[in-house]
Amino acid sequence: MPETTLTIRTADGGEAGTVELKSDWLEFEKGRQAVHDAVVAHLAARRSGTACTKTRAAVRGGGAKPFRQKGTGRARAGSTRSPLWRGGGVIFGPHPRSYAKKLNKKVRRLALKRAFSDRVAEGDVVVVDEFVLDAPRTREAANLLEKLGIGEHVLIIVDKMTDNLRLATRNLPNVFAVDAAGAHTYQLLYYRKLLFTKAGLDAFTGGRLTSREKTS
């Protein structure tokens, strides 16, 4: 079992206490398949599904019979827009569709919990007491990340998104900020470091990793 106590750091790189991760927030025994399913579902949902081909009914022209039925020595043909002809329709080509896959709530939660647990075990989760920007300046956000010393490939998770944070991080190529309610499994796996604010971690673990089902 990996260390479940994380150090809370200040914006200038100091220490501001610790936070204990509860056992029901972590999962190391199961969930690998759930993580795979969640990633596949996310990538599938990102597909536009706009590819389209024309069948022989949609291709313009071809109304006249190209040559007489008998006597030419050729196979009979009724239209130049047959799929067998150059310029004809496509038989089983793609048409606009949705690639979205259904994933039930328990599987999504298990995938998120397993992905979070693995990142904790790998030491890639950093907690900061707060990540406050006085103005929507990219340089200010970059300076804060530099002081924390966590690299330049970071997912920042806060309890509530602010305009200053969103505008300050959108021009950093490998940095993305999201609120705890919007973070998903693919993001947790994609970025090299996960930077939680203390409030963001509380919102994420309390609202996303635990079941809200009522018990009788």
Domains annotated for the chain, with CATH where assigned, are: 5-47+100-207 (3.40.1370.10), 53-93 (no CATH)
Tens digits of residue pLDDT in 100-129: 999 999 999 999 999 999 999 999 999 999
What pLDDT sits at residue 66?
95
Name which of 72-81, 83-92, 205-214 the model is least confident about.
205-214
Tens digits of residue pLDDT in 150-178: 888 999 999 999 999 999 999 999 999 99
With a pLDDT cut of 70, the percent of the chain lying above it is: 96
What pLDDT sits at residue 214?
45
Q: What is the DSSP string of the chain?
A: ----EEEEE-TTS-EEEEEEPPGGG---SS-HHHHHHHHHHHHHHT---------TTTSS---S-SS-SSSSSSPP-S-TTSTTSTT---SS------------HHHHHHHHHHHHHHHHHTT-EEEES----SS--HHHHHHHHHHHT--S-EEEEESS--HHHHHHHTTSTTEEEEETTT--HHHHHHSSEEEEEHHHHHHHHHHTSS------
Cα 176 to Cα 57: distance, rounded to the nearest angstrom: 47
Banded pLDDT at 215 (limits 50, 70, 90): very low
pTM summary value: 0.84
Question: Residue 65: CB partners within 8 Å, gap ≥ 6?
Answer: 77, 78, 79
